[in-house]
Amino acid sequence: MKIAINGAGIAGTALAYWLGKLGHDVLLVERAPQLRTGGFVINLWGIGYDALERMGLLPRLLELQYHSDELRMVDRAGRTRGGYPSSVLLKLANGRMATLARSDIAAAIHASLDARVETLFGDSIAAIDDGGTQVRVEFEHSMPREFDLVIGADGLHARVRQLVFGPDADFEYPMGCHVASFEVAGYRPRNANTYVAHTAPGRYVARFPMRDDRMLFFVLLRDEHLKGRIPASHAERKAALRDALAGIGWEAAGILSALEQVDDIYFDSISQIRMDAWAKGRVALIGDAAACPSLIAGEGAGFALAQAYILAGELHRHEGDIAAATTRYQRRLQAAVARKQKHAESLAASFVPRTEHGVRIRDYATLLMRLPVFPRILMGRYFRDEVALPEYGI
């Protein structure tokens, strides 16, 4: 089949990998002028880890992983008040976990694509007309083309979903927080291999050391700290972070000083996408476009890798019967995604407590993770996918 995929992140590149391997002609469309760099560092385990292993890319990505020794929670004076060694999480994942930059995963997959996959950078799908037997696609810049199947792998605010299924508001479930991230060169102190975080009521800021002497900053804000304004421009994002972080202690002054030199800030809502159907006719969705579990839930990248493998496998098993393949694809994964989303609701309050008392309780509670038995009691369920990758012979 001729298949178009909108979005060259983890979900899109992974699906392009499997479809190209199966002999389909694939067009991978990416709005950015090149593969995106930077972004979050994530822990990958479970079915996502298994999917990378089946792709044969795990050895390469393990070479690129970051080695974290400790999660450290500090008070406004920088004194350790909570946290635990990273080995606790590795044990929960039975030793099968890697800490990776999202952009490194997508880049490694993209580098492995075969000649059947064409990548169109600096463009995006602008209109879709599903005629029943073919789908006519118009692009923002390129000439229209026709495809047998169109896939939206374009994230939380997916353009394909908006065009075919409806506006974001019909499917987005806000979690009451926004997230920001940015990188700074040469920031000190560095604390090699340590994730250091400080929480004030309704506000959370953390830093993690990256390669080439860069520091990744990660900020969570309760929506009330945005004062009803969702920043759109770069200047507005800087202003929102200055307002939210001023006076919270720890390294806030140094972080805000470094922020002035930053020219790229990621800023978005923390939301879930909940849909009854992940496909409509000859158009389907994967990754966050279909079922974003939210940053709070985690494992979004892992589920995206699993979705890509399963959708490609079901298309192969059903010999191009798109309706049968997409129905089975959703049926295999939707319950697991729903459980993950439900878990996120219970985690939201502990991520960014609203009161100083809540912050102290959360920080001190993390110390229990250092004791035997408690890690599995407190977090064991978050490391159980309760779904396995099927065998498709691909």
Question: What does the pLDDT look like over 73-89, one tens digit per residue?
Answer: 999 999 999 999 999 99
- First-to-last alpha carbon distance for the chain, in angstroms, is 17
Contact indicator for 29, 124 with CB cutoff of 8 Å: yes
CA–CA separation, 295 and 206 (whole Å): 15
Question: What does the pLDDT look like over 40-74, one tens digit per residue?
Answer: 899 999 999 999 999 999 999 999 999 999 999 99
DSSP 389: P
Question: What does the pLDDT look like over 84-121, one tens digit per residue?
Answer: 999 999 999 999 999 999 999 999 999 999 889 999 99
Taking residues 13-39, report their average pLDDT. Answer: 95
CA–CA separation, 354 and 352 (whole Å): 6
Taking residues 13-37, report their average pLDDT. Answer: 96
Taking residues 134-161, report their average pLDDT. Answer: 98
Contact indicator for 134, 266 with CB cutoff of 8 Å: no
The pLDDT of residue 390 is 95
Taking residues 204-229, report their average pLDDT. Answer: 93
Taking residues 238-252, report their average pLDDT. Answer: 96
The pLDDT of residue 343 is 83
All structural domains of the chain with their residue ranges = 2-67+97-171+273-347
pLDDT over 90 for what percent of the chain? 89
pLDDT band at 38 (very low <50, low <70, confident <90, very high): confident
Question: What does the pLDDT look like over 336-364, one tens digit per residue?
Answer: 999 889 888 778 788 899 999 999 999 99
pLDDT value at 186 more than 80:
yes
* pTM for the full predicted model: 0.95
2-67+97-171+273-347: CATH architecture:
3-Layer(bba) Sandwich (3.50)
Dihedral sign for Cα atoms in the order 9, 15, 21, 24:
negative
Closest listed residue to residue 201, CA positions, set 324, 11, 349: 349
The pLDDT of residue 215 is 96
DSSP string for 285-315: E-THHHH---TTT--HHHHHHHHHHHHHHHH
Give 208's strand partners.
Answer: 216
Closest listed residue to residue 39, CA positions, set 197, 172, 191, 208: 208
pLDDT value at 156 more than 80:
yes
Do you find a cis peptide bond into 189, omega within 30 degrees of 0? yes
Mention every residue, 6+ apart, whose C-beta is less than 8 A from residue 131: none
* Token reading at 221: 């804000």
The pLDDT of residue 190 is 94
In the sheet with 172-185, reading across from the earlier edge strand, the strands are 80-85, 70-74, 194-200, 203-209, 214-222, 172-185, 266-273
The pLDDT of residue 101 is 95
The pLDDT of residue 384 is 83
Q: What is the mean pLDDT of the chain?
A: 95
